[in-house]
């Protein structure tokens, strides 16, 4: 009887140990299965949608970014809601339109108490870092809330030899080419032993003006002939302010970000300056593509690549001669359409690349990242997660959105802009800011048949009903997002003086 009891006790102890072993194994398996993904967001500055080979550029080859698209998702219709660096960056972080987050120009700080996705991830136990161009608050290079590690500089930074403030230690000159410097800082941070999931934003200067390529790429496009786009001269049905902009800082006859020394110049020979500018713009992106490849390899070597939401995008687009303009700020397609490529097997299998045609916005980045990371969502925002959209659920996705830009006294070459873009149509107008009637002609384009926005239909009576429909829809969107009444500065007119050197 005692022997039997002893055997029973031993059997029970053995069973308990065995079940405990199974429980430990299952616990470990569950931990691995619920491991939160890392986030790496690479953000360029002023990169238009077609400045990638994966998006059809026949001259600019970007194999590393193309690889992300081949193993992930490429968004064909991704837009910024304000085509200006600081407002767009604030929208990416917060998921809100510029009028709501308050950063409506390049001189305003990101509000310290404004909820944003890096702060949420930090509170959720992520180790967070920002390295590179921040550009919200021109004269401030101190660390911002939401980041455990913060490296930036004052203003635009330089393509060579920028003074960086590394985690609040004070400005320190780091010699070298900007893209390579921030890439090394980012790789060094990634290669550390991270005991938590991590989130890194890498902010490049490129391809922002003044375009200065790395020496090895300085002549990469010297044999590519580039001319002004045809739309540069077809301005008869455009508002007058576009023609007025031609000889200014933001026009094709102006200084072209100092690529043209004698200006204004409308001669045929002056296209050579324009060609040199575009060649240099493309060349700076070649170094960015190298950087993407380096980050990819680092993540792979650490065994974190497939557990990382790897995002490549830009803050806004750029006009390269379209409608006679350079720079951004306007609502024309090259100014607002930007690249977005995401690689994450938890979103789409790497063996099956996905192309998304629906309209996705900078406002959607924050809610998407938080959903993919299993983090609490931001409240009362204007963006929405595109996780389900990417995975095939197109129900209830947006068919229209609005654009806003406020006239800047420092850059008086673009009026106030308000507009709406649907899947097939675009209407934009230019309010005065003081309640008086618009002084500039509005623009209407049927994008489905005129993607280059070559034919302004605003005065065609055939489209009167469509104009009324779009105006009403725009007014509704403004009201829904809290922009009614719509506050904006007074349009003081197009001016020709150059901006101060310190803010160019």
Please write the tens of the pLDDT for every residue from 473-490: 999 999 999 999 999 999
Residue 109, Cβ density class (10 Å: 0-12 exposed, 13-18 middle, ≥19 buried): middle
pLDDT of residue 27: 35
Q: Is 405 within a domain?
A: no
Q: Is 205 within a domain?
A: yes
Q: Is 415 within a domain?
A: no
Q: pLDDT of 55-113, one tens digit each?
A: 999 999 999 999 999 999 999 999 999 999 999 999 999 999 999 999 999 999 999 99
**The CATH number of the domain where 363 resides is what?**
3.40.720.10
Q: Is 169 within a domain?
A: yes
User: How far is 18 from 303, CA to CA, in rounded Å?
Assistant: 32
CA distances from 333 to 81, 114, 286, 426, 494 (A): 12, 30, 23, 10, 21
Mean pLDDT for 8-14 is: 43
Q: Is 148 within a domain?
A: yes
Mean pLDDT for 225-243 is: 97
DSSP string, 341-390: EEE-TTTS-TTS-EEE-S-EEGGGHHHHHHHHTTPPPPSS-S----HHHH
Q: Is 253 within a domain?
A: no
**Domain housing 146:** 38-242+266-395
Q: Is 104 within a domain?
A: yes
pLDDT of residue 26: 35
Mean pLDDT for 227-249 is: 97
Mean pLDDT for 268-295 is: 98
For residue 277, pLDDT beyond 80 = yes
User: How far is 486 from 484, CA to CA, in rounded Å?
Assistant: 5
468 confidence band (pLDDT: 50, 70, 90): very high
Which residues have C-beta within 8 Å of that of residue 120, sequence separation ≥ 6? 370, 375, 376, 378
Q: Is 177 within a domain?
A: yes
For residue 10, pLDDT beyond 50 = no
21 confidence band (pLDDT: 50, 70, 90): very low
502 confidence band (pLDDT: 50, 70, 90): confident
pLDDT of residue 25: 39
- Residue 403: helix, strand or coil by DSSP? strand
Considering the entire predicted model, what is its pTM? 0.93
Mean pLDDT of the chain: 93
How many domains does the chain divide into? 1
Residue 334, Cβ density class (10 Å: 0-12 exposed, 13-18 middle, ≥19 buried): buried
Q: pLDDT of 351-369, one tens digit each?
A: 999 999 999 999 999 999 9
């Amino acid at each position: 009887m005692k022997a039997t009891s002893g055997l029973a006790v031993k059997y029970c102890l053995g069973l308990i140990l065995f079940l405990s072993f199974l429980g430990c194994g299952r616990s470990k398996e569950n931990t691995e299965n619920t491991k939160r993904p890392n986030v790496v967001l690479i953000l360029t500055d002023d990169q238009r949608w077609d400045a990638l080979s994966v998006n059809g550029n026949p001259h600019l080859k970007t194999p590393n970014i193309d690889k992300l698209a081949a193993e992930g998702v490429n968004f064909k219709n991704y837009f910024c809601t304000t085509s200006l660096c600081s407002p767009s960056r604030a929208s990416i972080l917060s998921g809100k339109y510029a009028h709501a987050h308050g950063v409506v120009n390049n001189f305003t700080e990101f509000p310290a108490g404004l909820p944003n996705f890096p702060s949420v991830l930090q509170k959720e136990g992520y180790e967070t870092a920002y390295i590179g161009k921040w550009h919200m608050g021109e004269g401030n290079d101190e660390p911002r809330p939401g980041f455990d590690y913060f490296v930036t500089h004052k203003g635009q930074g330089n393509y060579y030899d920028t003074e960086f403030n590394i985690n609040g230690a004070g400005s320190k000159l780091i010699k070298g080419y900007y893209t390579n410097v921030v890439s090394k800082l980012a790789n060094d941070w990634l290669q550390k032993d991270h005991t938590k999931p991590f989130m890194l934003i890498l902010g490049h200067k490129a391809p922002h003006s003044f375009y200065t390529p790395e020496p090895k790429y300085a002549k990469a496009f010297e044999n590519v002939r580039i001319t002004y786009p045809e739309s540069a001269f077809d301005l008869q049905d455009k508002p007058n302010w576009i023609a007025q902009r031609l000889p200014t800082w933001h026009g094709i006859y102006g200084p072209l970000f100092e690529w043209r020394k004698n200006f204004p110049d409308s001669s045929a020979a002056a296209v050579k300056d324009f060609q040199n500018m575009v060649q240099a713009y493309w060349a700076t992106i070649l170094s960015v593509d190298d950087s993407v490849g380096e980050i990819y390899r680092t993540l792979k070597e650490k065994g974190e690549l497939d557990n990382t939401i790897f995002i490549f995008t830009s803050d806004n687009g750029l006009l390269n001669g379209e409608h006679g303009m350079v720079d951004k700020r306007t609502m024309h397609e090259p100014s607002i359409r930007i690249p977005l490529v995401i690689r994450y097997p938890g979103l789409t299998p790497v063996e099956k690349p996905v192309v998304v045609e629906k309209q996705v916005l900078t406002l959607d980045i924050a809610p998407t990242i938080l959903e993919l990371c299993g983090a609490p969502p931001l409240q009362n925002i204007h963006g929405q997660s595109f996780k389900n959209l990417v995975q095939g659920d197109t129900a209830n996705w947006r068919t229209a959105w609005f654009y806003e830009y406020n006239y800047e006294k420092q850059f008086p070459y673009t009026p106030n802009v308000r507009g709406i873009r649907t899947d097939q149509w675009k209407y934009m107008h230019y309010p005065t800011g003081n309640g008086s009637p618009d002084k500039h002609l509005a623009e209407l384009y049927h994008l489905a048949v005129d993607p280059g926005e070559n034919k302004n239909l605003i005065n065609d009576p055939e489209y009167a009903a469509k104009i009324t429909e779009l105006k009403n829809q725009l007014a509704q969107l403004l009201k829904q997002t809290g922009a009614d009444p719509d506050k904006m500065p007074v349009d003081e007119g197009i001016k020709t003086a150059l901006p101060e050197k310190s803010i160019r």
